[in-house]
Chains A and B, each alone.
Chain A
Amino acid sequence: MNTLHTVNKSPFERNSLSSCLRLAAAESSILLFEDGIYAALQGTDFSETIQTALAKHSVYVLLPDLQARGMSLEQVIVGVQAVDYAGFVDLTSTHYPIQAWL
């Protein structure tokens, strides 16, 4: 199975997302949650980074964390899939291992 990488920090605050993308094997998936959701939004300096990443990875964003931060699904980059906590759990069943980028 492919790895599920989890990124919980904003790309503007930490290099966690960029390091994750540099070291994520092709076909692995990425879940953006907590402050990591900011990377999932259109119109930021990181949007292109995610768009490029979508060619190699499935990218997910945790909806509760988007909503908590006042962002909506409409603002999410096309191709990034929103999941709730149940969806997060489901992702862990289809990926192995789970790798956290803090």
Chain B
Amino acid sequence: MKFAILVNEGAYQHQASDSAFQFVKAALEKGHEIFRVFFYHDGVYNASRLSVPPQDDRNINKRWSELAQQHQVDLVVCIAAAQRRGILDAAEAKRQGKDADNLAEGFRISGLGQLIEASIEADRLMVFGD
């Protein structure tokens, strides 16, 4: 089966990001395909490159980056939600005249159309939120 995943909350604040990750991991282990993981609302915070959680706990943001690298999972961050919350890639930062960018490896910033497309192309849409 092909899954589209919607993550509505940031790392640590709610369990949504953890649950989504565990679901995706289990689905991949079973040989399913993850069509796309789309980050919306505070979910965009999962894509910050600047997160430095304590060493004795899971590194949520890094975990997503590693997943993207190991399994070629498409991690998409909504541009409007990201702009609001200050998650920018290098191109966006330059375009907006900001002095820094912070998008983590493995994520890409795109439009809400990517969420809709994923929901149409996939067999199931899973929503993780608060």
Contacts and interface: CB of A to CB of B under 8 A. Distances in A.
B125 A98 contact: yes
Interface residues of A, number: 20
Contacts of B29: 86
A92 B1 contact: yes
A84 B19 CA distance: 12
Interface of B: 1, 3, 8, 15-16, 19, 22-23, 25-27, 29-30, 32, 124-130
B130 A86 contact: no
Contacts, number: 50
A100 B23 contact: no
Nearest to B8: A102
Given A96-B124, A97-B125, A88 B1 contact: no
27 contacts: A6-B127, A8-B15, A8-B16, A9-B130, A33-B19, A34-B15, A34-B16, A34-B19, A64-B22, A84-B26, A85-B22, A85-B26, A86-B29, A88-B23, A89-B23, A89-B27, A89-B30, A90-B30, A92-B3, A92-B124, A92-B126, A96-B124, A98-B125, A98-B126, A98-B127, A100-B128, A102-B130
